[in-house]
Structure 1
Amino acid sequence: MPTVTQTPLAASDVEFQSQISQVQELQSLGFYRRALLQLSDIDLLEQPDSLIKVHGLHLLSDLQRIVGDLTAAQTTIESAIATAQTLDVIEIAPMLLSLGHIAAASGETEQALEQYEEVSAIASTPQLKLRSHLSQLPLLTETNYSQIATLYTDIQTLIERLPVDKTTVNARLELARYYLESPIGNDIATPQVIAQNLATARNQAQTLSDSYAESYALGYLGELYLKQQQLSEADDVLRQALEIAEALRSSELTYQWQWALGRVHVQQNRTALALSDYENAVDSLKTLRGNLIAIAPDLRFDFTERVEPVYREWVALLLSSQSAKKSAEEPAKDLTNLQKAQGAIESLQLAELENYFAEPCVPLSQDISQIIENTTSPTAVLYPIILSNRLEILLKLPDQSLQQYTVAITQPALEELLNQFQIDLRLPFTSNTLRTLSAQLYDLLIRPAQPALEQSNIDTLVFVLDGSLRNVPMSALYDGQQYLVENYSIALAPGLQLVAPQPLANRNLTTLVAGLSEARHGFSNLPFVKAEISQVQQTTSSRVLLDEDFTEAQLTTLLSNADYQVVHLATHGQFSSDAEDTFILAWDKPIQVDDFNTLLRQSDQTNESAIELLILSACDTALGDRRAALGIAGVAVQAGARSTLATLWNLDDETGALFSNYFYQALQQPDTSKAQALRLAQLQILKGEDANSQLYQHPRFWAPYILLGNWL
């Protein structure tokens, strides 16, 4: 490598370097989004080629990757590499390492491994080689078991040869975390070796005055003891780890050790202590709202592994004492525990959406218990909660305390039933098998609560659905004689904290309708979209954007210049558990879920000019994605509309036009709620008298429509 001649920095370079340093400081404190915003304000590509520019681009790419913008991260790091190569004085191995991280985050395992191996081959320092080896370890678990033992030994050897610093301490912690989480951890090391590594890491962290690393070393040692059923030792070291975390006021450390202590106390049958630990852990997580992405990114933080289980295990513990004392038909009595369980599920729904967007969602309603008391029609809220060994159902009826029902079914058995139900719903000629599956789900979800629903004369059911339950329509549950929609109006809520129910004030609807009938961007044509739009025009005062007129810019202009109560988008859409894969198709481009907040002007449904109803027809949720319908909730929250009507799958036939006609006619009738209008439209398709009425009895034609949010 050529020798770099040191020259004094120009004044502009000094300012540039100062800005980069400020961003690095924010990054080191875990303020990734703030750091990204500050760095994005600097037009790095317009800067003259220099070492500082390369460093800034590399830093920007890392921040983009951490917050989940992988496409931008890839483009930026490629610019950094290209600039470095023109200068011919900068080692590109660290940038290739970042390129590997992006590939790994994108699920491109083989490409990531190739990048890491190249870094290992050309790295100029053993520290960089160590980081590359550590990055390969979890990927090899998925692809090549035979190399893992050798790589693990190489990592351990590198650690021992290097001087004690933050890199080597973190490497020891990384090896411990891998052992604790990997299914083959016991094949590559013994508990004694891991315990010694953690003891060394703790001593070295103390030498470096690195309290964070010391807390992690103690916490991981506690989890190791828990795994080995050395419960007394686990309790002792976890308390030490927690004491350091609390002194640091570090919620991301505190919740982990509170959670681990809860698991220890469950094993010790110290239920009261365990409940307190879990409650403390959830409280600590609440302080991390909007910053969950900042939790230990170097240790491959994952929401589904490191946050969601805290809530679920707490709920299971809160409800388990009740489950042992009653049958599936008998409601529980411990209201304090039930209220805490309800609050935990509400908080989990909120945290899941926050993780989906990597930014906070602001609750609209804090008084959950009063929401259904103020509705004009008798309304019940059901919380089906999927636990590993059972299904729990919380029921809230007007003017009554929470009730609990427990159904004995394992999570794998329920997931299998839901998956098959979801597949059969989309297929023709499956009525008999579909009704069998639907009846099984009815018996699980509705039958236990049916007497209480009938006694209270309930006519509207609001579901706060959990996990894979979101992917199937509740309207299609079958009691042996009738579908659920034949007896109830049905709506969904992404947690009642995000819903502000209020009746539709003006029945003279003004509607902005946009649709695609022609094939675009690899998606097929939608020949029945024109008929659907025609039906909307006949029933409401409408402005239409069709095909080439339906662009993001045109939609934005119209929404900016007039207030529409309803925005109806008849186009291809895709709902996914990944925000990057959730979009609505316009003529010129797919509109990503993150853009809906800006596009629809309002993100606060309590605002007077908020859109009453966002309709997304011809959209689809991906089969095989257990959290695909999370994308519908994501669109609804970003749009800020009071209600969202979406389809779980796309039929693209004349029923779309029929449904639109029936729904808008019903919605404009006085005192008809949105949930009731949806029900009436579905029933007219199910029980219609036209030539295809026999065909349309199959739920695939009327069940895909779901109402999310304000059901009034």
Structure 2
Amino acid sequence: MERLVEYYLTSRRLNVFVVTPGDPSPHALCLTYEYEDLAKRVAAFRRAIWREEPVGEFAGALGAVLLEPLRTLRLIEDEDVLCIAPHRCLHGLPFAALGSQGEHALLRNPIAHLPSGAVLPAVLRSTSDPTGRAIVVVHNSDKDAEELRASFQREAASIAAILDADIIDASDGDTLAALSTRLPGARAVHFVCHAHYGGRGRSGLVLRDEKGADRLASMEELSALRLDGTLVSFGGCETGRAEPHQSDDRRGIVRAALTAGASSVLATLWPIHSHMAEIVFAAFFEAWEAGYSRAESLRRAQRHLMEQSENDLDLSGSALPTHWAPYILVGSWR
């Protein structure tokens, strides 16, 4: 079952609306909860993630507030596809990591996100998926160490092989110019490059200009690309971070891709380990090519990374939410 779970927070109320396809009346749950307390819990969770500290206490507490009441009332059940529409401090929160140790939401439900519930009709609009050749864009900064450079190239080659995709190497010239002519109709586009989060509209992807120098492809430039129906994924750090706006509509790289017409975007909420990113994106696209939904493909990829800690000493920390939880799917989950 697919369910939209939309949150609306006031200073002293936690309101949750759950919508099920075919049911014209949303189920509403209103809890008394101080917003400042919730915001502090979310901030503490994020600090622990960034510092690579244990997050079990915070994840359990937030799961108990945001998800468990819905499970208790059977508004959501295990294996339901949850499409989360957050509000205020909940934007950027990895709902997949919420819950007590061993009971993360990821293990119970495939999860996707929406900027808001208002965009759901556009996401559900029945349109055929693009069938054109997939594209992988790869670019290393001149300052990258050899190990990181090799990781980027391995990721690009791996995804290109899985998707039978063309590779655009940013070192060959103006990347945006090349994309503008080759993007229309592409079924998927995967970017393996650095990203920059600067706030106040200064976020973007690090690519090359026509003179061969690194440049920041801005959100405005990304919004102008033709991504009609394309599945877009960003393999850089913090590509899913977004800055607040008065309307609660967050501005960032993900929003730019959706504005350009992407059907869904796979991005990252905080800095990621390049070797682990190779594993997650490859597993995601393998599952997607095998016919799984996008939400289920991401869940399988994250669980696959969690399991690697048992098989590879170099990935001994991969079971921690710090490493598997930053990946977030926004938009169509199907």
User: Which of 393, 403, 408 in structure 1 is aligned with 2:32?
Assistant: 408
1:469 alignment counterpart = 90
1:387 alignment counterpart = 10
Tell whether 2:230 aligns with 1:612: yes
Assess if the C-alpha contact under 8 Å between 1:575 and 1:629 holds in 2: no
Aligned residue type for 1:448: P
Assess if the C-alpha contact under 8 Å between 2:195 and 2:205 holds in 1: yes
SS in 2 for 1:514: strand
Instruction: Report the TM-score, using the length of structure 1 for normalisation.
Output: 0.42
2:45 alignment counterpart = 421
Instruction: Please state how far the C-alpha of 1:646 moved relative to its aligned partner.
Output: 0.8
User: Which of 441, 444, 447 in structure 1 is aligned with 2:65?
Assistant: 444
User: Which of 161, 166, 169 in structure 2 is aligned with 1:538?
Assistant: 161
Residues 244-269 of structure 1 deviation map (CA, whole Å, 9 limit, x = unaligned): xxxxxxxxxxxxxxxxxxxxxxxxxx
User: Which of 109, 122, 133 in structure 2 is aligned with 1:488?
Assistant: 109
CA distance in 2, matches of 1:679, 1:508: 24
SS in 2 for 1:385: strand
Where does 1:85-96 land on structure 2 (aligned, <5 Å)?
none
Instruction: Please state how far the C-alpha of 1:667 moved relative to its aligned partner.
Output: 0.1
Residues 395-452 of structure 1 deviation map (CA, whole Å, 9 limit, x = unaligned): 2234443222233332222111111211212332x22xx1100111101110111034
CA distance in 1, matches of 2:224, 2:320: 39
CA distance in 1, matches of 2:117, 2:243: 24
Tell whether 2:297 aligns with 1:677: yes
**CA, structure 1 residues 683+675, in 2 after alignment: closer, same or farther (shift >3 Å)?**
same
Q: Which has the larger radius of gyration?
A: 1
CA distance in 1, matches of 2:186, 2:287: 19
Instruction: Please state how far the C-alpha of 1:690 moved relative to its aligned partner.
Output: 2.3
**CA, structure 1 residues 461+577, in 2 after alignment: closer, same or farther (shift >3 Å)?**
farther
**CA, structure 1 residues 452+399, in 2 after alignment: closer, same or farther (shift >3 Å)?**
farther
Instruction: Report the TM-score, using the length of structure 2 for normalisation.
Output: 0.85
**CA, structure 1 residues 517+453, in 2 after alignment: closer, same or farther (shift >3 Å)?**
farther
Q: How many residues in Structure 1 have an aligned counterpart in Structure 2?
A: 318
Tell whether 2:186 aligns with 1:567: no
CA distance in 1, matches of 2:296, 2:186: 22
Aligned residue type for 2:7: P
Instruction: Please state how far the C-alpha of 1:702 moved relative to its aligned partner.
Output: 1.0
CA distance in 1, matches of 2:255, 2:17: 24
Instruction: Please state how far the C-alpha of 1:626 moved relative to its aligned partner.
Output: 5.4
1:666 alignment counterpart = 287
Residues 168-202 of structure 1 deviation map (CA, whole Å, 9 limit, x = unaligned): xxxxxxxxxxxxxxxxxxxxxxxxxxxxxxxxxxx
Q: Which has the higher strand share?
A: 2
1:595 alignment counterpart = 221
Aligned residue type for 1:544: I
Where does 1:98-109 land on structure 2 (aligned, <5 Å)?
none
2:182 alignment counterpart = 558
Aligned residue type for 1:573: A
**CA, structure 1 residues 398+555, in 2 after alignment: closer, same or farther (shift >3 Å)?**
closer
CA distance in 2, matches of 1:632, 1:623: 8
CA distance in 1, matches of 2:115, 2:234: 17
CA distance in 2, matches of 1:416, 1:623: 19
Task: Structure 2 unaligned segments of length 5 or more: list them.
Answer: 210-214
Assess if the C-alpha contact under 8 Å between 2:2 and 2:21 holds in 1: yes
Residues 358-405 of structure 1 deviation map (CA, whole Å, 9 limit, x = unaligned): xxxxxxxxxxxxxxxxxxxx0111111121122211122344432222
Over the aligned positions, Cα root-mean-square deviation in angstroms equals 2.9
CA distance in 2, matches of 1:637, 1:625: 16
CA distance in 1, matches of 2:76, 2:303: 24
CA distance in 1, matches of 2:125, 2:293: 10
Percent identical pairs in the alignment equals: 21
